């Protein structure tokens, strides 16, 4: 019964906003950018946290820090100043390397996008939203569809 409403672009946009608002309130979902293509990915919180833990457990790539490295700001400034005075660094290089406001690193992941995504949640969302989205005037199926519409 929602399909006739999609003829009116305003109604279609309102339906999209309502669906996205409803989904975005789910605390078990995480939304973030994809690794390529500018897409938006929806991941279960448990899947996201599991992937973070999997990557951090790779001790060939990561090691646990003994503390907050921002406390070494003064030491780094002193080291860079001595290198500058010795002629090993130009003014520009020294200015570039001195971080006046060091911050702690934050870990995050960008999900890989695969056309054959098998996660049931995505299939359910796709099943319910696809009929609505494909009726929107702004809908583009793929790059070929975009090029055809430009012609």
Same domain, residue pair 49 and 8: yes
Residue 81 has pLDDT above 60, yes or no: yes
Same domain, residue pair 123 and 56: yes
Query: 0.75 cut: is pTM over it?
Result: no
Please count the other Cβ atoms lying within 10 Å of the Cβ belonging to residue 6. 20
Same domain, residue pair 13 and 53: yes
Q: In the prediction, which pLDDT does 3 show?
A: 45
If one counts the domains in the chain, the total is 2
Same domain, residue pair 60 and 114: yes
In this structure, is the dihedral angle defined by the CA atoms of residues 41, 44, 46 and 47, taken in order, positive or negative? negative
Q: What number is the average pLDDT over the span 48-56?
A: 90
Same domain, residue pair 16 and 49: yes
Distance CA 2, CA 130 (A): 12
The range of the structural domain enclosing residue 118 comes to 3-64+110-150
Residue ranges of E strands in 35-106: 40-44
Same domain, residue pair 78 and 16: no
Residue 6 has pLDDT above 50, yes or no: no
Where is 30: in which H helix or E strand? strand 29-33
Distance CA 133, CA 117 (A): 19
Q: In the prediction, which pLDDT does 36 show?
A: 63
Same domain, residue pair 9 and 56: yes
């Amino acid at each position: 019964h929602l399909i006739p409403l999609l003829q009116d672009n305003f109604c279609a946009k309102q339906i999209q906003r309502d669906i996205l608002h409803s989904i975005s309130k789910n605390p078990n979902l995480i939304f973030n950018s994809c690794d390529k293509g500018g897409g938006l990915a929806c991941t279960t919180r448990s899947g996201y946290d599991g992937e973070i833990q999997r990557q951090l457990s790779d001790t060939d790539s990561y090691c646990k820090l003994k503390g907050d490295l921002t406390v070494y700001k003064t030491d780094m400034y002193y080291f860079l100043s001595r290198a500058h005075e010795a002629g090993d660094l130009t003014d520009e290089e020294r200015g570039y390397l001195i971080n006046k406001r060091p911050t702690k690193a934050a870990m995050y992941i960008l999900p890989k996008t695969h056309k054959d995504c098998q996660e049931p949640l995505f299939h359910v969302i796709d099943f319910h939203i696809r009929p609505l989205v494909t009726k929107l005037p702004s809908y583009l199926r793929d790059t070929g569809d975009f090029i055809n519409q430009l012609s």
